Amino acid sequence: MYQDTIAAIATAAGEGGIGIIRLSGPDAGAVANRVFRRARRGPRDVARFPSHRLIYGHVVDPETGATLDEALAVRMPPPHSYTREEVVEIHGHGGPVATREVLRACLRAGARHAEPGEFTLRAFVNGRLDLAQAEAVLGVVGARTPEALRVAVAGLRGRLGGELRPARDRLIDALAYLDAAADFPEDEIPPADVGAALDEAAARLDALTRRAAVGVLYREGLQVAIVGRPNVGKSSLLNALLRQERAIVTPVAGTTRDVIAESVTLRGIPVTLLDTAGIAETADAIERLGIARSRAALEGAALILFVLDASVPPGPDDLAVAATLRDRLGEEGAGRGVLLALNKADLGLVPQDAARALLPHSPAVALSARDGAGLPALEDALYALATGPTGAASLTAETDPALATVRQREALATARDHARHAVAALAAGVPLDLVAVDARAALVAIGEITGENASEAVLEAIFARFCIGK
List b or e across 129-163, with b for residues whose CB sees 16 or more CB atoms inside 10 angstroms: bbbbbbbbbbbbebbbbebbbebbebbbebbbbeb
> Given the DSSP bridges, would you call strands 16-24 and 6-9 parallel, antiparallel or unpaired?
antiparallel
pLDDT for position 389: 55
- Residue 377 has phi, psi (to 5 degrees) of -65, -35
pLDDT for position 415: 95
> First and final CA of the chain: distance in angstroms?
18
pLDDT for position 189: 59
Contact of 130 with 158, CB cutoff 8 Å: yes
pLDDT for position 51: 94
Whole-number Å distance between alpha carbons of 314 and 333: 22
Whole-number Å distance between alpha carbons of 38 and 345: 72
Whole-number Å distance between alpha carbons of 421 and 37: 64
Whole-number Å distance between alpha carbons of 211 and 223: 20
* Residue 4: Cβ within 10 Å count: 11
Contacts 24+ apart (CB under 8 A), 416-425: 416/202, 416/205, 416/206, 416/208, 416/209, 416/442, 418/442, 418/445, 419/167, 419/171, 419/198, 419/201, 419/202, 419/205, 420/202, 420/206, 422/174, 422/198, 422/202, 423/195, 423/198, 423/199, 423/202
Enumerate residues 6+ apart whose C-beta is below 8 A from 199. Answer: 423
Measured CA to CA in angstroms, residue 241 lies from 226, 263, 379 at distances of 11, 10, 8
Q: What is the pLDDT along the chain (470 residues), one digit of tens a residue?
A: 688 999 999 998 888 899 999 999 999 999 999 999 999 887 788 988 999 999 999 999 999 999 999 999 999 999 999 999 999 999 999 989 999 999 999 999 999 999 999 999 999 999 999 999 999 898 888 888 888 888 888 888 888 888 899 999 999 999 888 887 766 665 555 556 788 999 999 999 998 888 877 778 888 888 888 888 888 888 888 888 887 665 444 454 444 445 677 888 888 888 888 877 655 454 454 455 555 555 565 666 788 889 998 888 888 888 888 887 887 665 544 445 889 999 988 887 777 788 888 888 888 999 988 888 889 999 999 988 888 754 443 444 344 555 668 888 899 999 999 999 999 999 998 888 899 999 999 999 999 998 888 888 888 888 888 888 88
Whole-number Å distance between alpha carbons of 206 and 289: 45
Whole-number Å distance between alpha carbons of 138 and 27: 27
Residue 351 is classified by DSSP as: P
pLDDT for position 171: 93
Whole-number Å distance between alpha carbons of 436 and 182: 9
- pTM recorded for the entire structure: 0.78
pLDDT for position 397: 39
Whole-number Å distance between alpha carbons of 236 and 368: 9
Judge residue 165's burial from the number of C-beta atoms within 10 Å of its C-beta, 0-12 exposed, 13-18 middle, 19 or more buried: middle
Whole-number Å distance between alpha carbons of 341 and 276: 15
Greatest Cα pair distance, the chain, in angstroms, is: 85
Contact of 290 with 260, CB cutoff 8 Å: no
pLDDT for position 266: 86
pLDDT for position 286: 47
pLDDT for position 248: 44
Residue 111 is classified by DSSP as: -
In sequence order, which ranges of 91-145 are alpha helices (DSSP H)?
96-108, 118-125, 131-142
Helix, strand, or coil here: 129? coil
Whole-number Å distance between alpha carbons of 55 and 49: 8
Contact of 225 with 304, CB cutoff 8 Å: yes
Residue 172 amino acid letter: I
Q: Please, what are the domains in the chain?
A: 6-129 (3.30.1360.120), 146-216+402-450 (1.20.120.430), 225-373 (3.40.50.300)
Contact of 410 with 216, CB cutoff 8 Å: no
pLDDT for position 293: 58
What's the CA angle centered on 52, arms 49 and 53, to 5 degrees? Answer: 65
